[in-house]
Structure 1
């Protein structure tokens, strides 16, 4: 059966987040995370759903992509599907053809798990590796020593201040108190 490209809609976001949650492994290569969708929801559930792409076979989600802007597809697959040739060919073909609605025309990027067949097939089609990310992780089995920093919870009453700090830290950020409320409310 063929792999089908789709967009989940607002009602399908929970299923996509559940799939991402099941696929998380500390030892796995860099991967799209359910928290990435949560962060994207600061733009609202409708915008988040519109930015998500799924690849399914027999109704099962095998790959999830997040359009993190018009030229970047952040992709991961079910761990057992990292070398599924039919899936990888479908993802690569969809990413390479703007009319398929995954990536636009011009310079575009695909972030795919290291060692996945998707990366190999992209390279065969002339795609080049770009800067790699350095994922950092920390074992939290033991308590983390106090670094001596003051940490405050920013509740709804401080959303405006939190948004201003965020904008000052990230050049070009358009984060607002409304975005904070949307993200915190899961809408």
Structure 2
């Protein structure tokens, strides 16, 4: 029996390593895909202070019970989104569920103008039930995908190089050529790589037969025996349509297996049919699409 009500706070930078450890410990096969150390690790390219500002933590008896990862720099007029993770021990805790649903939309509680308008809540029966009871409705569905890593991963067909410290140029080149609005830079790669989450991550670059950098991926482990995440994955715009997305995804799965991960996870909007097809071609199994929750307008 817990003695305290859930307490909400924005963490300090000094708390982040412990929160990463807690978040990693919540990752288990068989559970829905939820917020993962990968999400914090990728955000780290903007610096530790930005990561801390993007997090809200609910603790019970001084122990983290739930974490929201929010966009703390939402443009005026746009909906703020919270990506959620919850300790498995609190999945059916109704008191925590009520606190989350009370705090997230409240500007004075969450510390964001307008509060949270969209919630990614794929785990926590009590939390999801409380959202529904309070009138939150289904928003965009996301397809979770998983590849088990108990067996050796097949060759991918590309020459794969792991990005070494001080040599991220090809990784950055592919990222910016794959995503039109990318703000990734060499400096930001170094900032990310110096963060504690990257100690359990790798960046991979795939090269074709002409030694051109054609695809790249970053993979994030939560520790041996736990699910890892593949994110982001991109193919250079000049080399699309040749199966490189499948190939670099297979390489990412192989890297996670080498790191001891039990499975590789990713989620993508269900409307991204080409993305889902790429992951399925790389040996991932698509699960049932799960919608986000959107706050009703009165």
| Ranges in structure 2 where 5+ consecutive residues have no aligned partner | 75-79, 197-298
SS in 1 for 2:23: helix
**Which of 64, 68, 84 is 1:65 aligned to?**
68
Q: CA deviation at 1:132?
A: 2.3
SS in 1 for 2:137: coil
- How far apart, CA to CA, are the structure 1 residues paired with 2:85 and 2:116? 21
Q: Corresponding residue for 1:77?
A: 86
TM (norm. structure 1) is 0.91
Residue 108 to residue 138, structure 1, CA distance change in 2 (3 Å): same
- How far apart, CA to CA, are the structure 2 residues paired with 1:106 and 1:14? 26
- How far apart, CA to CA, are the structure 1 residues paired with 2:123 and 2:189? 33
Give the structure with higher Rg (CA): 2
The Cα offsets for residues 15-59 of structure 1, whole Å up to 9 and x where unpaired, read as: 111111111111001211112111111111111011111000110
Across the aligned residues of Structure 1 and Structure 2, the Cα RMSD in angstroms comes to: 1.9
- How far apart, CA to CA, are the structure 2 residues paired with 1:102 and 1:55? 14
Q: Corresponding residue for 1:171?
A: 180
Question: Are 2:184 and 1:184 aligned?
Answer: no
TM (norm. structure 2) is 0.59
| Ranges in structure 1 where 5+ consecutive residues have no aligned partner | none
Q: CA deviation at 1:11?
A: 0.6
What stretches of structure 1 move > 3 A for 4+ residues in a row?
none
Deviates more, 1:34-43 or 1:152-161: 152-161
- How far apart, CA to CA, are the structure 1 residues paired with 2:109 and 2:83? 16
**Which of 113, 120, 132 is 1:123 aligned to?**
132
Q: Corresponding residue for 1:16?
A: 19
Which one has the bigger helix percentage?
Answer: 1
Question: Are 2:42 and 1:39 aligned?
Answer: yes
- How far apart, CA to CA, are the structure 1 residues paired with 2:52 and 2:26? 19
SS in 2 for 1:5: strand
